[in-house]
Amino acid sequence: MNKSIPPHFPKLADQLNTPITIGGKTISNRLWLAPMAGLTHSAFRQVLAHYGSCGLAFTEMCSAKAVPTENPKISPVFRWHKWELPSLVCQLAGSTPDELVIAAERVEREGFFGVDINMGCSARGMIKREAGAALLKTPEKAVAVVKAVRKAVSIPVFVKFRTGWSKEIGPAVDLAKELEAAGADCLVFHPRVSPDKRTRPPIIDHIRFIKEAVSIPVFGNGNVTTQHHCHDMLATTGCDGVSVGRMAIARPWLFAQWTAGYMPDDTIFQDYVLRLATALEQEFDPIRGLKRFRMFIPYFAANFQFGHSLLATFSTAKTMDDVRRLAKEHIRPDMDLNQSPNMNLYNL
């Protein structure tokens, strides 16, 4: 394992460890976990907390229609541990002010740090329901949603959004200004067009246009896989912080590594899989837990030069006991790592 520290690490750590205030609440650092459906669930966040140093975590996407009546004890999505709430934001996906307001009010009552409105997901079902990135097609509707939620709750309101449905950045800049005026406390911007399924790299420089357009904090998101990428995003765009998605699933200790100089030992990858298997077993029924593991394993396997073989090996697991056995048999300290993940696996 390459344990060298980049020359700019102390400067990067200083930047990331500068506290930031969002909606009157202070967050200890500027390196956050991005919301990802099927991945940033309560089991993963439990393991993430073990490694530490994540400034703010986001739940996986929750349906605004379902949240008002969801039972956290049995819901696979709208669930958490009480100790998480002071630094946990609930992401909601919905299409109308009414449904998002009722859901946001429930989120506030439960004690979450804040609420995040999804304007980035472009999955077919989401677009059909006129939620997620579909809101970017009608900016006035997107603004109305934020305005209504802001009026209804006192906790910080976040908006995660993409460039839009064309590659031009102008409409996104205009929308950012309107979202700020509507009461958003923080914008998390992913500089890809909405239909893009990660087939092209994000246009990182577009984050700069969003940052320059508003006075509220703007966090950048998109293909941050190394400390160098993180440093460059901050340096070239002027954004206030960085939201990490897929790489956080691949290596959840990166938060401690990038902010505090944590140096993982050679057993870290096996340790991670074993901890996640136990957490999945605790949080989900066997079928759902295994399904969540199968969503996770491509990102984990992308760490390794022979990741496809590792992915095939773990695909044979039928139980969490199988997962633990395979981890002990096949994840070794001497495995060759990729400096950045294998995108052929990363984009599955």
pLDDT in tens, the chain (348 residues): 444 445 556 699 999 999 999 999 999 999 999 999 999 999 999 999 999 999 999 999 999 999 999 999 999 999 999 999 999 999 999 999 999 999 999 999 999 999 999 999 988 899 999 999 999 999 999 999 999 999 999 999 999 999 999 899 999 999 999 999 999 999 999 999 987 766 678 999 999 999 999 999 999 999 999 999 999 999 999 999 999 999 999 999 999 999 999 999 999 999 999 999 999 999 999 999 999 999 999 999 999 999 999 999 999 999 999 999 999 999 999 999 988 888 778 765
Say if CB 173 and CB 209 are below 8 A apart.
yes
Question: 321-335 burial string, b = 16+ CB within 10 Å, else e?
Answer: eebbebbeeebeeeb
CA distance 209 to 107: 31
CA distance 202 to 186: 20
CA distance 40 to 44: 6
Q: Which pLDDT does position 4 carry in this prediction?
A: 44
**CA distances for 69 relative to 49, 66, 72, 98, 106, angstroms:** 28, 6, 9, 15, 9
Which residues participate in catalysis according to the annotation? 121
Query: Which residues are CB-contacts of 106 (< 8 A; sequence separation ≥ 6)?
Result: 67, 68
Q: Which pLDDT does position 197 carry in this prediction?
A: 66
Q: Which pLDDT does position 344 carry in this prediction?
A: 78
Q: Which pLDDT does position 339 carry in this prediction?
A: 81
CA distance 35 to 190: 12
Phi, psi of 29 (to 5 degrees): -145, 175
Q: Which pLDDT does position 341 carry in this prediction?
A: 85
Which residue shows structure tokens 């709208």?
78
Question: Whole-angstrom distance between the N-terminal and C-terminal Cα of the chain?
Answer: 25
Dihedral (CA of 85, 91, 94, 95) sign: positive
Q: Which pLDDT does position 133 carry in this prediction?
A: 94
Three-state SS string across 30-81, please? CEEECCCCCCCCHHHHHHHHHHCCCCCEECCCEECCCHHHCCCCCCCCCCCC
